[in-house]
Amino acid sequence: MPESPNAGWNDFRRVGALYDAYSIFYAIAVNAASLHRGYYVGPEDSTKFSEAADRLTRHVATYLDLSPGDHLLDIGCGTGQPDILIAQETGCRVTGLNVGSGQIAMARMLTEAAGLTDRLTFELSDGLSYPFLDGTFDAVLFFESIAHIPDKEAAIREAVRCLKPGGTLTVVENFEIPHAGTAQWRSFLEETMRWYPSTVDDTAKMFRSTGLALERVVDLTEQTEDAYRRALEEASARQDEVVRFLGAETGAGMLDGLKTLVETLAGKIEFAVLTGRKEG
């Protein structure tokens, strides 16, 4: 087999396949197309997970500083559901990149159903290098995706290269609470989810070292920390459907995986939005 031009590509394809499977599970178990947390206004908020997830996207859209016609690059775009909502909210165009071909297919189908094919395109590509010219985009977004990229600084540098001067880069992510995790905890996340958590401070340093002026850090931990537990509750209530569509072994495995994720992240993760602006 020829050597991959990108040493990390095979590993990226594995995380892509993992999320391709999750996207099907989420559709069945919680009726959601987005693969990120949900935004809740408090413990009494009984909003369904899928709506809370879309609410988080709309909230994130308010930070992106996009006007009609602007061009957003979304790295690790999932099924494209966040891009559809962001395009509807702001009037922007979006190019979405992902390492999962199943998610790319889903993104193209959802875009067609939403009547947005003139503004949204999706390509199979990893978040470390892509063939866009310098200064192509008005904004770049990593929405719960950069945690899966081991060399985050390289990913941010490549994103900054493609940003117009004055454009914004936004990272919405689960960050490790400083000193909360152990080496064993990190290895477990890496082995099971290809997840390499960083802290808010380390990420802010990477913004500065890649030529971004840090403009905003918003802590959304309180609004989002219960999201995966709620998703698990909804998914467990739909266990029969999960097993009917995915089979007993895969269905039970996916439900167990979600339970493990909830337990593994509890008390160790904060959730935040960081925005930086390209200087020059």
Q: What is the binding site for ligand SAM (CB under 6 A)?
A: 12, 15-16, 19, 34-36, 75-78, 82, 97-100, 103, 126-127, 143-145, 148-149
Place of tokens 């775009």: 77
* Cα–Cα distance, 78 to 60 (Å, whole number): 15
How would you classify residue 270: left for phi > 0, otherwise alpha for psi between -120 and 50, otherwise beta?
A: beta
Q: How far is the CB of 240 from ligand SAM (least distance, A)?
A: 26
Query: What token pair was written down for 241?
Result: 């459907």
Task: Report the nearest approach of ligand SAM to the CB of residue 15 (Å).
Answer: 4
> CB-wise, 160 or 279, nearer to ligand SAM?
160
Angle at 4 between CA 94 and CA 11, to 5 degrees: 70
Residue number, 86 or 242, with CB nearest to ligand SAM: 86
Residue 174 is inside which H or E element, if any?
A: strand 163-176
Q: How far apart are CA 223 and CA 205, in angstroms?
A: 25
CA-nearest of 200, 190, 197, 248 to 221 is 200
Q: Closest distance between ligand SAM and the C-beta of residue 67, in Å?
A: 22
To the nearest whole angstrom, how small is the minimum distance from the Cβ of residue 97 to ligand SAM? Answer: 6
Reading phi first (left if > 0) and then psi (alpha if -120 to 50, else beta), residue 123 is in: beta
Write down the least CB distance from residue 156 to ligand SAM, Å: 13
Pairing of strands 269-278, 163-176: antiparallel
Reduced to 3 states (helix: H, G, I; strand: E, B; else coil), residue 276 is strand
Q: How far is the CB of 43 from ligand SAM (least distance, A)?
A: 24
**Least Å distance between CB 127 and ligand SAM?**
3
> Would you say 32 or 242 has its CB closer to ligand SAM?
32
Q: Between residues 16 and 251, which has the closer beta carbon with respect to ligand SAM?
A: 16
Nearer to ligand SAM, 23 or 278 (CB): 23
Query: Nearer to ligand SAM by C-beta: 149 or 235?
Result: 149
Q: At what angle do helices 49-61 and 227-237 cross, to 10 degrees?
A: 150
Q: How far is Cα 153 from Cα 127, in angstroms, rounded to an integer?
A: 11
- Alpha-carbon gap, residue 233 to 236, rounded angstroms: 5
Question: Is the Cβ of residue 102 or residue 243 nearer to ligand SAM in the bound state?
Answer: 102
